[in-house]
Amino acid sequence: LSFPRKLWKMLDSDRFQSVWWSQGGKYVAINEGLFREEVLVKEGPLRIFRTQKMKSFIRQLQKYGFRKVQTDGLRSASLPEFLAEEAAASAHSQVLHYYNPIFSRDHPHLLEKCRRR
């Protein structure tokens, strides 16, 4: 699977607590500390991405057109998204938000247009 498709499947799964859809499925929210433990350090058949470093993962996001979004005042309207953001904030973990105009929960058919630059 391509990087965007793997990410979309992770976001659409209930298996991961470190990454979720934010702002009604328009943004990707990542709890940086938990993401390292839950996703990046996995090896063997449990490994999802080729990298084990957060910096490399973020570089991949950028290569596929994702841009970091400042989260000042950015709060999700849906209860599950809001609760995930509150739990991450209460754990004093850094939550990163990324946006790509063609990467959306409601439009998985656009994934084929999400190409590496």
DSSP per-residue string spanning the chain: --HHHHHHHHHH-SS-SSEEEETTTTEEEEEHHHHIIIIIT--GGG--SS---HHHHHHHHHHTT-EEE--TT---SSHHHHHHHHHHHHTT--EEEEE-TT--TT-GGGGGG----
Looking at residue 106, what is its pLDDT? 92
Structure pTM? 0.79
Looking at residue 72, what is its pLDDT? 60
Q: What is the pLDDT of residues 25-48, one digit of tens each?
A: 999 999 999 999 999 988 888 888
Q: How confident is the model at residue 21 (pLDDT cuts 50, 70, 90)?
A: very high
Looking at residue 59, what is its pLDDT? 96
Q: 24 or 55, which is more confident?
A: 55
Q: Which CATH number fits domain 3-110: 1.10.3720.10, 1.10.1740.10, 1.10.10.10, 3.40.50.1580?
A: 1.10.10.10
Domain ranges for the chain: 3-110
Contact present, 34 and 96 (Cβ < 8 Å) = no
Q: What is the pLDDT of residues 81-106, one digit of tens each?
A: 667 666 656 555 688 999 999 999 99
